[in-house]
Amino acid sequence: MLSLGQVLPGPNVVNLALMVGDRFFGPRGAAAALAGMLGAPLVIVLLLASLAASLAHHPVAAGAVRGMGAVAAGLIFATGAKLAPALRKNPLPLALCAAAVVATWGTVGLLRVPMVWVVLGIGGAMLTLAWWRLGSRHER
Amino acid sequence: MNADTLLALFGHFLAMSMLAIGGALATTPDVHRYLVDERAWLTDAQFSAGIAIAQAAPGPNLLFVPVLGFAVAGLPGAFVSLAGMLIPSTALALAASRWGGRRRETRFVRAFVAGLAPVTVGLLLASATLLAAPYSRSASALGVVAVAALLSWRTKASPVWLIAAGAAVGALGWV
């Protein structure tokens, strides 16, 4: 269920909670899981956001938010870096995976191509190659 | 509140939900394009602040979505954005869950995971690049980005403490 939750579009943790809720308690369980995952954090994060907005003119607060933003960017770099070693276990060759990472990063991050074209283009091509490779390995 | 704005927010996040392969944060480049570049509803600073606040708070990282919606259009904006982000992925997760774990290892599912894993990594790096871009004129800010990335990647430092440290450094005016 975890791997399925990670594959699907949408937030992983939320998908997982939803599927567990649904499996054991049906639609009402799914709804309860969703509310449980998101209710309290949503209230907290919106309170923080309105606090930050009301302090935005204050130079110290604005500086603090700038610092937080820089760290947030760093954290997302790290998330990407932590996922990269898993590509070694990918059925596709590592060099091809690396090329797809760089191509996706360059087109979306530098050239600012809309994601839909990149996901359909590079993602579609990689999926097709993986499909073909998994099949040919299976036959052997 | 302008109903057109709310409808546009809802529609945008509906589309983003379907593209959120590998997590909500990977859609940041397109969300930024829409809210900041196309609509000019948010400034770069407001956008980065929204992401940072959502990272600092407890809960799933998709909460940056209602935070940005809140910055655009208040509480109604927060709710329509979150609803847009959740409805397609939720429906799909339930459908997939019922379609059954037994078919999880089919060739298509395995090819999907294998093919899209590198794209996910690329999208995360692109999101981070985009969020770091406004800091590119300040060497000290880029230093903060790099140190945060290294600490988070190589140590078990908790994101909350890293963000708190970033807030302290920023409050001192060093970023």
- Quick check: A10 and B86 CB within 8 A? yes
- The predicted complex's ipTM stands at 0.88
Nearest-CA distance A69 → chain B (Å): 5
The rounded mean pLDDT for chain A is 83
Q: Using CA coordinates, name the residue in chain A closest to B60.
A: A13
The pLDDT value recorded for residue A140 is 43
Burial of residue A88, with CB atoms counted within 10 A of its CB: 0-12 exposed, 13-18 middle, 19 or more buried: exposed
Q: How confident is the model at residue A1 (pLDDT cuts 50, 70, 90)?
A: very low
* Phi, then psi, of A112 in degrees rounded to 5: 60, 40
Q: How confident is the model at residue B77 (pLDDT cuts 50, 70, 90)?
A: very high
Reduce the secondary structure of chain B to three states and give it as a string.
CCHHHHHHHHHHHHHHHHHCCCCHHHHHHHHHHHHHHHCCCCCHHHHHHHHHHHHHCCCCHHHHHHHHHHHHHHHHHHHHHHHHHHHHHHHHHHHHHHHCHHHCCCHHHHHHHHHHHHHHHHHHHHHHHHHHHHHCCCHHHHHHHHHHHHHHHHCCCCHHHHHHHHHHHHHCCCC
Enter the pTM of the model: 0.87
B119 neighbourhood in chain A, CB within 8 Å? 100-101, 104, 118-119, 122-123, 126
The pLDDT value recorded for residue B149 is 94
Residue A137, pLDDT > 70, answer no
List pLDDT tens digits, range B20-42.
877 788 899 999 999 999 999 99
Nearest to A134 among B51, B98, B107 (CB): B107
Q: How confident is the model at residue B81 (pLDDT cuts 50, 70, 90)?
A: very high
Residue A25, pLDDT > 70, answer yes
Q: Which two tokens stand for residue B56?
A: 């600092």
List pLDDT tens digits, range B118-136.
999 999 999 999 989 888 8
